[in-house]
Structure 1
């Protein structure tokens, strides 16, 4: 009786597997035959590329008068920059690190540390990004002369 039970169990598992694979193939066919599938796929990919931070215009800057918010933003940007650089996404990593330098209380010291730890070409890219990041933080702050303008004046020298 045990042999019969094992054979029946094998047949049931095989049939269930075949039904599952058929179910997947059927819905994949329906999804791909949808006239809007390619359009939706392209739009989803565009949103994903924009979400990576390629432009830098979608940054939510912290209130520069709130030290806790600035510190939290700084730490998250440094962490994101390090992770992206480790993954080989140089542009996005440099974007995040440049934002961290822009809100840093002591940008010269941070730049010295980054110069020692980053490859020279990546550090040069970071230096080239700093002026545009400084402009964006000034625009976000309403054009006022607060910590962001001081940071960028020191960095350019």
Structure 2
């Protein structure tokens, strides 16, 4: 006669074997799917882009209010420089990117930053700039107004 512990052990072994076979079978089916690699690349690219463009809670000023934009610009430059001096590169670069986004002459500002920042920090800033423009556009309320079209 077989003991109850042996029966439970055999049942657990058989169940584990069936589950493992199930996992292997469906993993093989998934890998044989013609769209698997394309979907995997798309998912990884989207994840990489999402991590590069992390969410930022910066509230951009109304771009039509020149004083508010100028105040925001100076505040972001100062905060970015302070954070970089303190060693917080990520947040410092984010604030400098915000300043570049609202700047009236971004090319001139980028030239100055290129001369004053370390090359690695400037490269990080250039990588972050594409992430700032969508946040700036979300900050605007509404869409184009009749006044905006000339």
TM-score greater than 0.5 by the shorter chain:
yes
Aligned equivalent of 1:105: 104
In 2, Cα distance between the equivalents of 1:119 and 1:143?
39
**2:136 aligned with 1:137:** yes
Counterpart-to-counterpart distance in 1, 2:89 and 2:120: 10
- TM-score normalised by the chain length of structure 2: 0.58
**Residue 73 (structure 1) shift:** 0.1
- Partner of 1:139, secondary structure, is helix
CA distance in 1, matches of 2:129, 2:115: 18
1:13 is matched with which residue?
none
2:77 aligns to what? Answer: 78
1:98–1:130 Cα contact (<8 Å) kept: yes
Q: Displaced runs of 4+ in structure 1, greater than 6 A?
A: none
Q: Kindly indicate whether the alpha-carbon contact (under 8 Å) linking 1:138 and 1:144 is maintained by their aligned counterparts in 2.
A: no
Give the Cα separation in 2 of the matches to 1:131 and 1:70.
20
Unmatched tracts of structure 2, length 5 or more = 1-53, 146-150
TM-score (norm 1): 0.55
Give the superposed CA RMSD: 2.0
Tell me the CA shift for residue 57 of structure 1.
Answer: 2.3
- In our comparison, the structure showing a higher alpha carbon Rg is 2
Q: CA 1:120 to 1:143, structure 2 compared with 1: closer, same or farther past 3 Å? A: farther
Structure 1 runs not aligned, ≥5 long: 1-54, 147-157
